[in-house]
Structure 1
Amino acid sequence: MIHCGSRGLGHQICTDHVRTMEKAMPRHGIQVPDRQLACAPVTSAEGQAHLGAMAAAANYARANRHVLGLAAARVFRAVAGCDSRLVYDISHNLAKVEQHSVAGVELELCVHRKGATRALPPGHPDLPADLRAVGQPVLIPGSMGTASYVLTGVPGGSAFHSTCHGAGRVQSRHPVARSVNAAELQKTLERQGIAVRGASARGLAEEAPEAYKDVADVVAVAERAGLCRTVARLVPLGVVKG
């Protein structure tokens, strides 16, 4: 399982376009209680520019995952003599123009899933034929010391057919990096049977399991809320942190 996005590019796009839309809102008669909610009509120049930049970031993120997947496949082939293939790829933190029923009325909406991903239910027309009977798979990464999950969308899924895209943090990167000893963390994980390799000690410390919510609880809440159902629980054997 590879979890990678557009890295700093996506963050920069958000920063730039929040600033642009903040300036444009008075012209469109829009007021918001927090600047992070800055927005503009989807059909406006600002809205179209933001969607275009977001699509570019999504393509970059997909390319990142593809390159990492090819590198991993080369290692598996060289060391274990086995081939690998891409089973599924899904993006998160995106806005998509979709059709949804709201109060019994079919509407075209721009659904922005932040910290979330799409989870289409079985039978949805946007699903390819091989997934239509089961619903859209969703990959939920936990942390390097806990499980990850495969979910799928469910009939009648609320939140515009969305669910979480990961466990979510309880500590930001800087505080946890200051409080966690990377060498001790690595030893702890290896005692649990999890091989760990990191590009840097700080990078490992930033991703310590205690920095994240309990992914089992997060998935259980999403399931009870009618957003998804659990298909598989995956336990880590090896973790590589870039």
Structure 2
Amino acid sequence: MSDADPAQVSDRAVQRGQGQVGSLGSGNHFLEVQAVDHVYDEPAAEAFGLRPGQICVMVHSGSRGMGHQICTDHVRVMERVMPRYGINVPDRQLACAPVSSPEGRAYLGAMAAAANYARANRQLLGEAARRVFARVVGRRLDLVYDISHNLAKIETHRVDGVDKRLCVHRKGATRALPPGHPDLPADLAGVGQPVLIPGSMGTPSYVLTGVAGSPAFASTCHGAGRAQSRTQAAKSVRGKELRDQLEAQDISVRGASMRGLAEETPQAYKDVSAVVESAEGGGLCRRVARLVPVGVVKG
């Protein structure tokens, strides 16, 4: 992101990021080997480089501790200045400032720097996967798409018949550009943006594409979403038991801890197929391909 301003990133955030670049992280972050088991839209799948039976790797990781620290630092600043701008919020997590204010510009510059760090992080993870596949199976991996979510971007959208510049903050959402959008590269202009929607380590994931006329500023869900807290999930199954269940389904699982695996049990997530069907029915996206897990690495 060209508007990144590293000067707005604190020394503490830099320190946290230095030791974590090239790492997955914990929680719902993962590297998953998947197989394409169904194609819904053949022209779009072909444009994305996807075909039935193909093996893919999906990575979910971001700006790690650096991004978390950037958020913490700038939320504190915004909490202090909100009274100056006449802003009241019901929860400190909603702390904010006008986009054009010094505090708003500082945050956007730091957040863009975190997004660039996240992209570098995923590039390293992708390169590690490429080297393993090249060594073990003698085949190369080609990139389908790389995109950040939990990100605010200045974009132009039509509101009440008028084009307006908006700050679109996608939290728990991801961008889904429609066919013909000017920000798409030429090879995707006719089909729209690839949208990567993970399910859980025991359920399918989806590749979608954006659609014209989206009522959500060219956005859709970015995953199944949790149905249980991590504490509830850990109480419902033991990590070793879950690993045995998944391996009985021919899904190989590797995790940093058994507790971490239990917290991410498939039962802790909503039905991703129902979530995607709802998003598609709401005019936010359309299905291109479904992928099923073969092997999962949890940080």
- 1:210 positional shift: 1.2
CA distance in 2, matches of 1:195, 1:96: 37
Does residue 31 of structure 1 match 2:88?
A: yes
CA distance in 1, matches of 2:261, 2:91: 33
Letter of the 1:184 partner, please give it: E
Q: Secondary structure of the equivalent of 2:93?
A: helix
Q: Secondary structure of the equivalent of 1:160?
A: coil
CA distance 1:174–1:52, change in 2 (3 Å) = farther
CA distance in 2, matches of 1:172, 1:56: 30
Percent identical pairs in the alignment equals: 74
Does residue 182 of structure 1 match 2:236?
A: no
Aligned to 2:204: 147
The partner residue of 2:223 within 148, 161, 166 is: 166
CA deviation digits over 1:112-167, x for unaligned, max 9? 00011111111111111111111111000110000000000001011101001111
Letter of the 1:70 partner, please give it: E
The partner residue of 1:22 within 72, 76, 79 is: 79
User: Mean Cα displacement is larger for which, 159-168 or 22-31?
Assistant: 22-31
Does residue 8 of structure 1 match 2:65?
A: yes
- Matched residue count: 242
Letter of the 2:144 partner, please give it: V
Aligned to 2:190: 133
Letter of the 1:198 partner, please give it: G
Letter of the 2:254 partner, please give it: R
CA distance in 2, matches of 1:9, 1:223: 34
CA distance in 2, matches of 1:208, 1:64: 25
TM-score normalised per structure 2: 0.78
CA distance in 2, matches of 1:64, 1:16: 21
Higher relative contact order (CA 8 A, sep 6+): 2
- 1:178 positional shift: 4.1
- 1:44 positional shift: 1.0
User: Structure 2 unaligned runs (5+)?
Assistant: 1-57
User: Structure 1 unaligned runs (5+)?
Assistant: none
Aligned to 2:139: 82
CA deviation digits over 1:187-218, x for unaligned, max 9? 10011111111122122222211111111111
- 1:15 positional shift: 2.5
CA distance in 2, matches of 1:76, 1:153: 30
CA distance in 2, matches of 1:27, 1:49: 17
Q: How does 1:102-121 map to 2 (within 5 A)?
A: 102-121=159-178
- 1:106 positional shift: 1.3
CA distance in 2, matches of 1:201, 1:6: 24
Q: CA RMSD in A?
A: 1.3
Aligned to 2:156: 99
The partner residue of 2:130 within 73, 87, 90 is: 73
TM-score normalised per structure 1: 0.95
CA distance 1:232–1:73, change in 2 (3 Å) = same
CA distance in 2, matches of 1:178, 1:112: 34
CA deviation digits over 1:81-114, x for unaligned, max 9? 2122222111101000001111111111110000
CA distance 1:124–1:203, change in 2 (3 Å) = same
